[in-house]
Homo-oligomer: A and B are copies of this chain.
């Protein structure tokens, strides 16, 4: 009568490694030991040990050769997307139903993502109407684990004078989110990079909705991702990437 657990389940640690490797592979083609260590705040020696284990599982979650870093296998990709989907659905759920602000959702989702069942994930998705963006604008993999390709790039790479539309903001620094939110730089906000002052590394950005021009440092300008907008309020596409969460 009991249905067999078809879905293999992995430890919290493996799931966090998978998410980080997924992000780094997207960004750079492969995930190096030291980058993984930095992202997870563990020592590189610990990463080596974990990569060896993940590569020797049946099926292997990563393809790994000494000194060459790791990439995800098909199985690893699937698991990574499952965790990412749970994470982003949870973020949106906490935001929409439980009064969480966008700077509070990430930390809570970071723990919940490892313990919710497929059933709960599906119920949350249904309640939210099968959404495709989390509160920071990150794309949510579909139920069949397809992740929309990213076209947006850091605000800091917008040409001076160019218009853009905010697509997403890195979600792992609550203080950045609160600051950026206060400035009106939320997903779908049209902006214009008025100028870039190279000598102090600041970006002067017009926020169309408020009419204000705000001044951003490098850290913040690299945490905000935008698409080109040829004319204000007209949305276009383009390609490039780099991300968080």
Query: Which residues of A does B touch, CB under 8 Å?
Result: 94, 97-100, 104, 107-108, 111-112, 114-117, 119-120, 123-124, 127
| A119→B104 contact, CB < 8 A | yes
| Least distance between A75 CB and chain B CB atoms (Å) | 23
Partner of A116, one of B100, B112, B123: B112
- Contact: B123 with A98, CB < 8 Å? yes
Which among B104, B111, B127 is the interface contact of A98 at CB below 8 angstroms? B127
**Which listed residue (B94, B108, B123) contacts A99, Cβ 8 A?**
B123
CB < 8 Å: which of B94, B98, B100, B115 contacts A115?
B115
Given contacts A97-B97, A104-B119, 17 further A-B contacts (CB under 8 A): A94-B120, A97-B127, A98-B120, A98-B123, A98-B127, A99-B123, A100-B123, A107-B117, A108-B116, A108-B117, A108-B119, A111-B115, A111-B116, A112-B115, A112-B116, A114-B115, A115-B115
Inter-chain contacts of A98 with B (CB < 8 A):
120, 123-124, 127
List the 9 closest A-B pairs by CB distance, nearest first: A111-B115, A98-B123, A115-B115, A99-B123, A108-B120, A112-B115, A108-B117, A98-B120, A98-B127
Question: Which B residues lie within 8 Å of A127 (CB)?
Answer: 97-98
Chain B residues, CB < 8 A from A107: 117
Instruction: Tell me the bound Cα distance from A238 to B227 in angstroms.
Output: 68
19 contacts between A and B (CB under 8 A): A94-B120, A97-B97, A97-B127, A98-B120, A98-B123, A98-B127, A99-B123, A104-B119, A107-B117, A108-B116, A108-B117, A108-B119, A108-B120, A111-B115, A111-B116, A112-B115, A112-B116, A114-B115, A115-B115
